[in-house]
Structure 1
């Protein structure tokens, strides 16, 4: 038919349009000579400055929030609380933790990370320490609430912060390494608590109080050091030269992170995040792995104890059985993060590992054999640990705009954490040694359903953009039928205003 355009010609035209758009975008710090900057060495320098310390902070964070589960050495008796009150103390943490994640991420972008993250850590370390000085249920509830308030900013904040340093194809492995600090916490947290409990009676304090006090003081020390160690955003980071900062920002802008050079806070960016369908589907994807994470820490000890009884192990060797589980979780998490960055296809990786996790949970539900259940734990791990950072990276990869991404990530993570309260109340001591894990399997199912939904919707939207259905009108262009997509003087204006809604932006699947 005369005048028709083939799909291949259309795709070429769309690709050329993206290249033309990039060519017309102003170069950041055009006057700076960056010829002497080795990009690989620069990336290594950034990794060394950021990842190890941030991972240590998350290790301390996870130790602090889960230490109450290891403080049952007479805690209920000493504070004169019931089992229901103990569960309330677990639950209240999740509410304050979830409520304050979004505002904390906005403040992080507005302020310097070296001040905001360090200040939060110092404050929650103090709350953790004071938790060891409480004498009744009210005091414990107050400290758990405040612990959640100050811890809320670290996990979503660091994930957002890292997304401001790395390309979309580099972010996943860094997020995975950061998150795998939780597996290290799980591997030795119980043994650490058992060792500290040997201080029972020193200074007139029970063993559980010393667990809170010493872990809290370690966090306070790390918070003070963080003021000097945590770096700020790329465009102001002091450990880089001006040429190196310029290279970092240009790399991000080439990766369609147009706001990397800085962005003013406008309420419309926050509204865009709240109204974006990707935020809401991302929340459901993430919760599919996050709620099972908290349940995992509850049912793993019961399985280990059952293995101990069946095999005749003493307590310490039984505790050591948790170490290979968490080591496997660490390896599989980092491996998925690496290959997701290399291959892309984060959605498909989610589906594969959630399916493996589902098999593990089905075995855990059906099995009453401790050895078989212990094997199934390794499969269940696949549906939790690698999926959490992969889902965060997947959502982050598909949101552009500094403030919009900070709010979206905080909403996604806070929704996952509020569902952590479910595991605190559903799985109770009277259900030992075999917890009913059908609810966890339901959450894994939600992860599978919404990962599939996210994948389909992203592919459809990319196809619409390839067909030119989302094109804006630029300058004096007389194209008709595109007014709904907006009219802009330049491509740079369209990028700045629309973020990931710009027609040249392509979502990662």
Structure 2
């Protein structure tokens, strides 16, 4: 099908003024009540999914403390364990952009639920490994099946909400990641009491039971997950039209059903924002994975080798992971809401990176086990998702940025070596370097977007619109029959689009 035909399809339900479904009167729709209902249908279930996603990828750290690497037929060395952690990230990161494109072409209820079901099965298989080869195999499969969940959820949320609302919405869903870290430690302690049941070690039951819960949630997700506003079953026809018009007002026209075109993928690849965003996610995801994978081990070694030599057990070390994660949950939600209230992403990201840097500087310099762990960050997803228009371009940009950030988990999964315990100076130093990259990239993004907005204010990006007299318009920016067509074709490159700072 030609690009011209696709444009005709995407415009078929709009009149000349660009109003979606002009025959539908939405004056009776109460916006506040409608958005609260959308919140209840969309955000809580996504938070549960990401809760399970983060818990299932990180519970290996809890299981290790209970003998996962030693209580098997063929014990796993420290080096082999680190390699097993590393191989997870390659398929996880590389498959994310493709997964997001598939998500847009299929129904979220089908694609996301299928991913959840598959990784739940893989998680159960973790409970039956007997060797290093088996551990590597299940970690690779977990990376394949979990790929696309996080960027998919971020993109999905961006298809329902205005840019000014993205920060708080993603913060609520992302807070489930930090909450899962706290809950994972507590749950591991409880499940380990099943040690010996069915002839299986307690660490095996951690994987088996948590994997079975994920499988059950996946089956429910086929019915619970709604798709997009234009076909959501819990909305009336008027409400669907209202939501899409609402997003149109926010220059998110793709909510009304953007058609797939290869040019949208290339728009993302050629966009400088995509590459800077990859640096932002690199600065975020590197520390995030180091923190989540090794926090139980770090706490265990940190306190065990302290001057007081208390000798905490694995159970106590797992329980001590709860307060840092609980604090991270509160911080994530608070910063997300504040970011939407003040209307900026830059200062929030800058503050969190700076706070994390201060925490790791203290960890490097101090030898006191009483210091808190401050390496908790808020994902820059809301900022990135809010500054890319067009469903396919936005999905690829998120996939590339988050994918690159996640592949750096392959680096930070190797920096906390047993030979460096209990203080792990090298590991903390590398994490600090990642935070520095994040600080630099968020600043570059801020400066670049500010300059681009200024160029558009001066008319340097104005397109030629047939029948419109504009002395600033130039054919190098494109020529279109009307403004609506220009907006649909160019997405966030359209001269009337302004980036959130």
What TM-score, normalized to structure 1? 0.90
Query: How much does 1:290 deviate?
Result: 1.3
Deviation of the 1:300 alpha carbon: 3.5
- Cα pair 2:189 2:318 within 8 Å, conserved: no
* Conserved 8 A contact 2:189-2:319: no
- Paired residue for 2:186? 191
Q: Distance in 1 between matches of 2:318 and 2:196?
A: 24
C-alpha distance in 2, partners of 1:175/1:300?
A: 24
Q: Which position in structure 2 is the counterpart of 1:421?
A: 410
Deviations 1:53-108, CA, capped at 9 Å, x for gaps: 11111111111111111222332231412222211211111111111111111111
Pick the aligned partner of 1:497 from 478, 489, 492: 489
Aligned equivalent of 1:359: 358
1:268 lines up with 2:263 in the alignment: yes
Could you tell me which of 399, 416, 435 is aligned with 2:424?
435
Q: Is 1:172 aligned to residue 167 of structure 2?
A: yes
> Which protein has the bigger helix share?
1
CA gap of 1:35–1:300, structure 2 versus 1, over 3 A, is same
Structure 1 contact 287–447 (Cα < 8 Å) conserved? yes
1:212 aligns with 2:242: no
Q: 1:203 to 1:89 in 2, by over 3 A?
A: same
Pairwise CA distance, 1:222? 0.4
- The reply to whether residue 75 of structure 1 matches residue 71 of structure 2 is no
Q: Distance in 2 between matches of 1:164 and 1:293?
A: 26
- 2:459 equivalent in structure 1: 468
1:222 is the counterpart of 2:211 = no
Asked if the contact 1:50–1:230 (Cα under 8 Å) also holds between the matched residues in 2, the reply is yes
CA distance in 2, matches of 1:336, 1:481: 40
1:61 aligns with 2:57: no
Q: Is this contact kept in 2: 1:304–1:322, CA < 8 A?
A: no
Match of 1:445 in 2: 436
CA contact (8 A) 1:473 1:482 kept: yes
Is the Cα contact below 8 Å between 2:155 and 2:395 reproduced in 1? yes
- Show CA shifts across 1:185-236 (max 9, x none): 1112122112212222222222222111111100000000111111111101
Task: Output the CA distance in 1 between the equivalents of 2:181 and 2:43.
Answer: 19
User: Of the candidates 94, 113, 125, which is equivalent to residue 118 of structure 1?
Assistant: 113
Give TM-score, length-normalised by structure 2.
0.92
Structure-to-structure mapping, 1:15-414, within 5 angstroms: 25-72=17-64, 73-77=66-70, 78-80=72-74, 81-298=76-293, 300-301=295-296, 302-303=298-299, 306-307=302-303, 310=308, 312=310, 315=313, 319-371=318-370, 373-374=371-372, 377-378=373-374, 380-381=375-376, 384=377, 386=378, 388=379, 391-414=380-403
Secondary structure of 1:370's counterpart equals coil
8 A contact 1:401–1:500 mirrored in 2:
yes
Which residue of 2 is the match for residue 487 of structure 1?
479
Q: Which moved more, 1:120-129 or 1:289-298?
A: 289-298
1:467 to 1:112, Cα distance in 2 relative to 1, 3 A: same
What is the CA–CA distance in structure 2 between the aligned matches of 1:227 and 1:446, rounded to whole Å?
A: 39
Specify the SS of the correspondent of 2:273: helix
1:300-329: per-residue Cα shift (whole Å, max 9, x none)?
432465346538485455544433322221
For residues 131 and 102 of structure 1, the distance between their equivalents in structure 2, rounded to whole angstroms, comes to 26
Contact 1:24 1:491 in 2 (8 A): no
RMSD: 1.9
Between 1:477-486 and 1:263-272, the stretch displaced more is 477-486
* CA deviations over 1:354-386 (Å, ceiling 9, x no partner): 112211111111001112x32xx23x33xx2x2
Distance of 1:326 and 1:85 partners within structure 2: 27
C-alpha distance in 2, partners of 1:131/1:303? 24
Distance (whole Å) between structure 1 residues aligned to residue 73 and residue 396 of structure 2: 39
Q: Verify the 8 A CA contact 2:300 2:312 in the aligned structure 1.
A: no
Q: Distance in 2 between matches of 1:416 and 1:470?
A: 31
Over 3 Å counting, the alpha-carbon distance change for 1:321 and 1:207 in structure 2 is closer
Deviation string, structure 1 residues 387-418 (Cα, Å, up to 9, x no partner): x1xx1111111100000000101111111110
- Structure 2: state its 5+ residue gaps: 1-13
Q: For this pair of structures, how many residues does the alignment match?
A: 478
